[in-house]
């Protein structure tokens, strides 16, 4: 983690914001954990290219520099993939954020709903310069958790309704179940832990060391049975249960197998070291779980410049 933090800190503010824009899609699924590190590698390359093409405002010069830059000196296929990401995704973001920024904030329906929830729920910084400084501070402290915040600044202009929020003590006697992965980027574990301590009648099922949003179903014999039984009316006996985490995909592979990986996105759908399935039809369960978890990932605004640059 210290190496990751140092890598993000070494980036210039403009490249840092481009990185954040491209990390926001990867914070929800454990199979994208290695993709997070690959995007940071691409950002380091873009930072080096920025020294050659100040301002990154000459598209032809940037593309030539990307094609010269070595992102991976060992795996040729991965080097080609990262060059493609640098041009089609990172440089597209740079154009949209820095060279031709939008004159107004535009949100599609799903993102608008999430923005309304966040901006209505919590008082926000209303000075854009302070917002930018605060998010960059988050990038230094928590480099895996700042994706999208620099660009998603609608709350700085939000007029919050004057309402009285109900006190959390009203929930104190409810038999609720909290399910949390330690490195969930959507509701960070620190906030979830603080909320849990204020609910004395609640139970929790947590997965220390895992990285995903919506950890249930987990395809295991710890999280899945406990949560499923709770949904059927049988709460866990223990107040707090820690379940073992699956090994991340790249950590589970032997070194010789890494050279066979030819894209920056994993094609593996299940955990790297699956335990015996808790489901009667594992294949059908796998398909349904994948479809469900894809629905947990919010859509972002990227795409217009990327599709233009592909030509």
Residue 29 has pLDDT above 70, yes or no: yes
Give the pair of three-digit tokens for residue 279.
């489901």
The Cα–Cα gap between 23 and 17 comes to 10
Task: Write out pLDDT tens, residues 231-246.
Answer: 999 999 999 999 999 9
Residue 144 has pLDDT above 60, yes or no: no
Residue 267 has pLDDT above 50, yes or no: no
pLDDT of residue 128: 80
pLDDT of residue 167: 83
Residue 228: other Cβ atoms inside 10 A: 13
pLDDT of residue 205: 98
Residue 84 has pLDDT above 70, yes or no: yes
Residue 44: other Cβ atoms inside 10 A: 18
Of 96, 74, 81, 101, the closest CA to residue 35 belongs to 81
Residue 141 has pLDDT above 80, yes or no: no
The Cα–Cα gap between 285 and 296 comes to 17
The Cα–Cα gap between 112 and 105 comes to 10
pLDDT of residue 117: 81
Give the pair of three-digit tokens for residue 154.
């609608």
Adjacent-strand bridge partners of 133: none
Whole-number average pLDDT of the chain: 82
Residue 242: other Cβ atoms inside 10 A: 14
Q: What share of the chain is helix, strand, coil (3-state, %, to 5)?
A: 50, 5, 45
pLDDT of residue 48: 97
Top-confidence residue, 255 or 311: 255
Residue 96 has pLDDT above 50, yes or no: yes
- Name the H helices within the chain: 2-9, 13-23, 33-52, 59-68, 76-85, 91-94, 109-121, 128-141, 189-197, 223-231, 249-252, 255-258, 282-294, 304-310
What SS3 class is residue 177?
A: strand
Across residues 162-178, what is the average pLDDT?
Answer: 84
Of 204, 193, 199, the closest CA to residue 242 belongs to 204
Listed range (25-29, 122-126, 137-141, 300-304) with the worst mean pLDDT: 300-304
* The dihedral formed by the CA atoms of 271, 277, 282 and 286, expressed in degrees to the nearest 10: -30
253 band by pLDDT with thresholds 50, 70 and 90: low
Listed range (13-22, 105-114, 171-180) with the worst mean pLDDT: 105-114
The Cα–Cα gap between 81 and 182 comes to 30
Across residues 259-273, what is the average pLDDT?
Answer: 46
Top-confidence residue, 307 or 51: 51
């Amino acid at each position: 983690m210290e190496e990751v933090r140092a890598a993000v800190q070494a980036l210039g503010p403009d490249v840092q914001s481009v990185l954040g824009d491209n990390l926001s899609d990867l914070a929800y699924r454990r199979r994208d954990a290695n993709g997070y590190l690959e995007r940071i590698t691409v950002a380091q390359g873009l930072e080096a290219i920025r020294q050659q093409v100040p301002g990154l405002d000459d598209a032809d010069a940037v593309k030539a520099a990307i094609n010269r830059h070595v992102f991976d000196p060992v795996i040729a296929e991965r080097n080609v993939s990262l060059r493609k990401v640098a041009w089609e995704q990172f440089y597209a973001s740079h154009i949209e954020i820095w060279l031709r920024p939008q004159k107004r904030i535009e949100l599609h329906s799903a993102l608008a709903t999430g923005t309304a929830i966040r901006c209505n729920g919590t008082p926000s910084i209303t000075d854009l310069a302070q917002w930018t400084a605060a998010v960059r501070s988050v990038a230094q402290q928590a480099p895996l958790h700042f994706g999208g915040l620099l660009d998603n600044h609608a709350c700085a202009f939000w007029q919050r309704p004057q309402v009285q929020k109900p006190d959390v003590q009203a929930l104190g006697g409810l038999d609720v179940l909290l399910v949390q992965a330690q490195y969930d980027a959507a509701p960070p574990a620190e906030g979830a832990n603080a909320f849990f301590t204020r609910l004395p009648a609640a139970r929790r099922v947590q997965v220390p060391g895992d990285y995903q949003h919506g950890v249930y179903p987990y395809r295991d014999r710890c999280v899945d049975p406990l949560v499923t039984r709770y949904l059927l009316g049988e709460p866990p006996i223990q107040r707090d249960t820690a379940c073992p985490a699956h090994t991340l995909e790249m950590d589970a592979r032997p070194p010789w197998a890494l050279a066979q990986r030819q894209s920056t996105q994993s094609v593996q759908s299940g955990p790297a070291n699956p335990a015996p399935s808790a489901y009667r039809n594992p294949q059908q369960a796998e398909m349904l779980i994948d479809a469900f978890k894809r629905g947990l990932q919010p859509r972002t605004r990227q795409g217009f410049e990327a599709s233009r640059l592909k030509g």
